[in-house]
Amino acid sequence: PSLVTMNNRRQVITKVKLLYILLFAAAQFALGADAVSLWYRQPAKQWVEALPVGNAHLGAMVFGGVDQDRIQFNESTVWTGGPHEYQHPAAFKVLPPIRNLLFAGKQKEAEALANESFMSVPLTQKEYQAFGDILLDFGKQQDEVTGYKRTLDLDTATASVEYTRNGVTFRRETIASYPARVIAIHLTASKPGSLNFTASLKSAHNGSTITSSANQISMAGSVADSAIRFEARLVLEQSGGKHVASEGSLQVTGANSVTLLLSGATNFKNFREVTLDPVQLNTRMLGALRGKTYEALKTAHIADHQKLFRRVSLDLGSTASSALPTDERIKAFANGGDPQLVTTLFQYGRYLMIASSRPGGQPANLQGIWNDSNRPPWGSKYTDNINTEMNYWPVEVTNLAECHEPLFDALKDLAISGGKTASEHYNSRGWVLHHNFDLWRGTAPINNANHGIWQTGGAWLSHHLWEHYLYSGDEEFLRKTAYPLMKGSATFFIDALLEDPRNGKLISGPSNSPEQGGLVLGPTMDHQIIRSLFGITAAAANILDVDSELQTRLTATRARIAPNKIGRLGQLQEWLEDVDDPKNNHRHVSHLWGVYPGADITAFGSPDLFAAARKSLEFRGDAATGWSMGWKVNLWARFLDGAHSYLILQNLVKPVTGARQQGGLYANLFDAHPPFQIDGNFGVTAGIAEMLLQSHDPNAKPLDMTAVQSGKEAFIHLLPALPPALANGKVTGLRARGSIELEMEWADGKLKKATLRAHQSKSVKIRYAGKEKTIQAQAGKTYELGPTL
């Protein structure tokens, strides 16, 4: 064919393509598909297909069944156990012999001694529990169901189901209101008088008492062998028809619309007291809603949710795939061409955070707040050698800072219980948290010495306080909340670090590199975390103008901690000894902490260590558990490699096969270890943000505490790791350290425009595509930048 006909043919093809795109756009519009909703053509068969709603106190999973619907629910303080101190009295007595055995290379003996005399009492912590189910029985019917659609709208935080049967369209909406502290289910039908069903409650705990009278059902009981007593109450309001209460259920006939309100509470007051009255609490919460319409409740709920959710918008474009139901999109994602699902996943992480972690509640646990089992994986507690921290990675950068608060409240508790552990286990001041905690704030080493004695959980979590300060600039918070906890954690390590007689360096121990290699002295991760903790604690004291002696002490001690080392394979050593195995593809990448979430190994300030860390990450490979891939998405973004970061994301977005180390997403977009563990969802949301914006100091050298690291200046790297697959887009409302809010638009992989809003007056260095520029930002002012800065 001649060039001319080829060109013509191309034009025709382009036109056909254009038409195709337009048609799909129209179809999408008709279906109402958008980046912030999940939808399905069938009810959930399994729990991981049901759709989550939550208000940080109550969580629920909506199945959307037709003949029978199930709304499985949780309350965040329904746990096994009761107030208890876990420290092992006088455990510190075996500390010197354990250390000596480790210095002598006798790891097994050291572990045996630790297992005998150094562990938590009891050895394990308590578990998060299921609470119950709301069951709605519509009776088995033969009539065909058409137009079935089940949706979770992330923007309004509403789960809904809609279908038509026998000419009547039925709709049910479920919301979990944070201001009202209830879950509401609203049922409607297109034809008056056609709602007929029986509502009942089912307890997840034996021996519960379920009674119904007038318009309510009460379910009261306790968790076996625990101090927790609970009550859930379901109240019914209907228009038209009637209802009868009998044998613990409510039978509704001929109603036009019905609202069911679920309230649930326990006697848990705090980790040391179980003195609240759940019945009184429910009466109060439900009483406050008397006379209020569902519409009013819903309006207040949406306003409350959107106040947080709408702070950030992300648009990565849409394609033909956007018109498909969510479960089909997960299956097709590997084929490429569905950038919008990345947006959905990003926003889903923010949605889940708002639903599971709000001021006054418990922090998000391994499953957020959603759990249908009384023997959940890993107790659905708080594993803080990665998982709890990962949960909170997205909160500051994606503009949900107040969702961090429950974690800070937990840290206040942990500093109390961890103070006892510090003194009994280490004869040290300050506080320490090992690799897990629970509702009762256990901090002592659990399970087994080969992975339970990891000392830096509290030190890592203390960084969250400092990060909150860096993002907000809130000095009041730094003074009152952050600094005392950071100081307590740092003080512990001033006492507990030991001198390595071989070279005079300070090392941690006994400890682990999570969760491999057994009990050791001086794992790299510990040193990175402690070094960083000392740096930020000294910086905080400096800002607050307090504790000048401690500042000097921290700075001097920091310089003596065993440094990062590059090993024989060019890798960053995970341990003091050069024993890394290049074939080790373990899920934990602990020694890369200094790259992310830490920021002491940097692209331009320590290029050799940076390259070594990258080598270590290459050894670990690209597949792993869900949370591990969540971490790697962030790490590859820190390595400024958007394509690799996206490759990991792609490995993660696929149906769950069940293989324990392979990740995947369930139909409801819950991330899989497998099993379901929520950290991967949060890790990925943080990772997508990390591709678009980084605000640590990439020029910092080892042992530096630069003006940026100390919170005095800001650094913003625009589109540092933009994947080619996300070449076009727009984001608003991301936050950077230094109290800056950012909007960006890019096309064909290049920045078009960035708008910075400064909330504080500060010198801000901006980097894009290898160029750097400094502006003196004024609080309240907005700055626009193009690709040449």
Nearer to ligand FUC, 424 or 515 (CB): 515
Q: Which of 107, 188, 625, 709 binds ligand FUC (CB under 6 A)?
A: 625
DSSP 8-state assignment for residue 482: I
| Distance between CA atoms of residues 720 and 770, nearest Å | 9
Q: Which of 79, 370, 378, 534 binds ligand FUC (CB under 6 A)?
A: 378
Nearer to ligand FUC, 389 or 743 (CB): 389
Nearer to ligand FUC, 125 or 203 (CB): 125
| Distance between CA atoms of residues 300 and 511, nearest Å | 49
Of 496, 391, 371, which is closest to residue 433 (Cα–Cα)? 496
Of 146, 634, 163, 76, which is closest to residue 392 (Cα–Cα)? 634
| Distance between CA atoms of residues 590 and 579, nearest Å | 15
Nearer to ligand FUC, 564 or 628 (CB): 628
Is 366 one of the binding residues for ligand FUC (CB under 6 A)? yes
| Side chain identity at residue 716, one-letter code | I
| Distance between CA atoms of residues 55 and 183, nearest Å | 8
Minimum Å gap between C-beta 112 and ligand FUC is 22
Minimum Å gap between C-beta 193 and ligand FUC is 50
Nearer to ligand FUC, 329 or 451 (CB): 451
Contact 627/386 with Cβ under 8 angstroms? yes
What residues contact 480, with CB distance under 8 A and at least 6 apart? none
Is 591 one of the binding residues for ligand FUC (CB under 6 A)? no
What residues contact 403, with CB distance under 8 A and at least 6 apart? 308, 353, 354, 357, 358, 392, 395
Minimum Å gap between C-beta 124 and ligand FUC is 13
- Backbone phi, then psi, for 381, in 5-degree steps? -100, -145
Q: Which of 329, 587, 644, 762 binds ligand FUC (CB under 6 A)?
A: 587
Nearer to ligand FUC, 383 or 573 (CB): 383
Is 55 one of the binding residues for ligand FUC (CB under 6 A)? no
Nearer to ligand FUC, 528 or 625 (CB): 625
Of 587, 600, 670, 599, which is closest to residue 627 (Cα–Cα)? 587
Question: Restricting to residues 68-107, which ones interact with ligand FUC according to CB under 6 A?
Answer: none
Residues 533-555 as b/e (b if ≥16 CB within 10 A, e otherwise) read bbbbbbbbbbbeeebeebbebbb
Is the four-CA dihedral 414, 419, 424, 426 of positive or negative sign? positive
Minimum Å gap between C-beta 515 and ligand FUC is 5
| Residue in the block written with tokens 């709301």 | 134
What residues contact 643, with CB distance under 8 A and at least 6 apart? 723, 724
Question: Restricting to residues 424-463, which ones interact with ligand FUC according to CB under 6 A?
Answer: none
Of 421, 375, 544, 374, which is closest to residue 474 (Cα–Cα)? 544
Minimum Å gap between C-beta 511 and ligand FUC is 15
Nearer to ligand FUC, 406 or 680 (CB): 680
Of 494, 36, 127, which is closest to residue 310 (Cα–Cα)? 36
Distance of CA 547 to the CA centre of its chain: 34
Minimum Å gap between C-beta 450 and ligand FUC is 12
Question: Restricting to residues 382-401, which ones interact with ligand FUC according to CB under 6 A?
Answer: 383, 387
- Contacts with ligand FUC by CB under 6 A: the residue count is 11
Minimum Å gap between C-beta 659 and ligand FUC is 13
Is 125 one of the binding residues for ligand FUC (CB under 6 A)? no
Nearer to ligand FUC, 250 or 617 (CB): 617
Minimum Å gap between C-beta 433 and ligand FUC is 15
Is 677 one of the binding residues for ligand FUC (CB under 6 A)? yes
Minimum Å gap between C-beta 47 and ligand FUC is 18
Nearer to ligand FUC, 43 or 514 (CB): 514
Minimum Å gap between C-beta 627 and ligand FUC is 6
Is 673 one of the binding residues for ligand FUC (CB under 6 A)? yes
Q: Which of 69, 75, 438, 515 binds ligand FUC (CB under 6 A)?
A: 515
- Which residues lie across from 586 on neighbouring strands? none
Per-residue x/- mask for ligand FUC, residues 287 to 306, rule CB under 6 A?
A: --------------------
Nearer to ligand FUC, 354 or 678 (CB): 678
Nearer to ligand FUC, 448 or 728 (CB): 448
Per-residue x/- mask for ligand FUC, residues 463 to 502, rule CB under 6 A?
A: ----------------------------------------
Minimum Å gap between C-beta 628 and ligand FUC is 7
Minimum Å gap between C-beta 383 and ligand FUC is 4
Nearer to ligand FUC, 271 or 627 (CB): 627
Query: Distances from the Cα of 221 to the Cαs of 59, 216, 669, in angstroms?
Result: 19, 17, 33
Of 385, 349, 384, 386, which is closest to residue 368 (Cα–Cα)? 349
**Nearest 10 degrees: Cα torsion 513, 484, 269, 181:** -90
Contact 257/189 with Cβ under 8 angstroms? yes
Vertex 457: Cα angle to 456 and 458 (nearest 5): 95
Query: Distances from the Cα of 552 to the Cαs of 45, 287, 538, 667, in angstroms?
Result: 61, 57, 8, 54
Nearer to ligand FUC, 444 or 716 (CB): 444
| Residue in the block written with tokens 């038509």 | 164
Minimum Å gap between C-beta 79 and ligand FUC is 16
List the end-to-end C-alpha distance of the chain, in Å, as a whole number. Answer: 47
* Pairing of the two strands 729-736 and 313-315: antiparallel
Nearer to ligand FUC, 308 or 390 (CB): 390
User: Residue 552 belongs to what H/E stretch?
Assistant: helix 548-560
Minimum Å gap between C-beta 676 and ligand FUC is 11
Minimum Å gap between C-beta 102 and ligand FUC is 22
- DSSP character string of 244-290: EEETTEEEEEEESEEEEEEEEEES--BTTB----HHHHHHHHHHTTT
User: Residue 147 belongs to what H/E stretch?
Assistant: strand 145-153
Is 512 one of the binding residues for ligand FUC (CB under 6 A)? no
Minimum Å gap between C-beta 116 and ligand FUC is 23
Minimum Å gap between C-beta 364 and ligand FUC is 13
Nearer to ligand FUC, 208 or 371 (CB): 371
DSSP 8-state assignment for residue 345: H
Nearer to ligand FUC, 64 or 664 (CB): 664
Question: Restricting to residues 210-269, which ones interact with ligand FUC according to CB under 6 A?
Answer: none
Per-residue x/- mask for ligand FUC, residues 168 to 197, rule CB under 6 A?
A: ------------------------------
Binding residues for ligand FUC, rule: CB under 6 A, are 366, 378, 383, 387, 515, 587-588, 625, 627, 673, 677
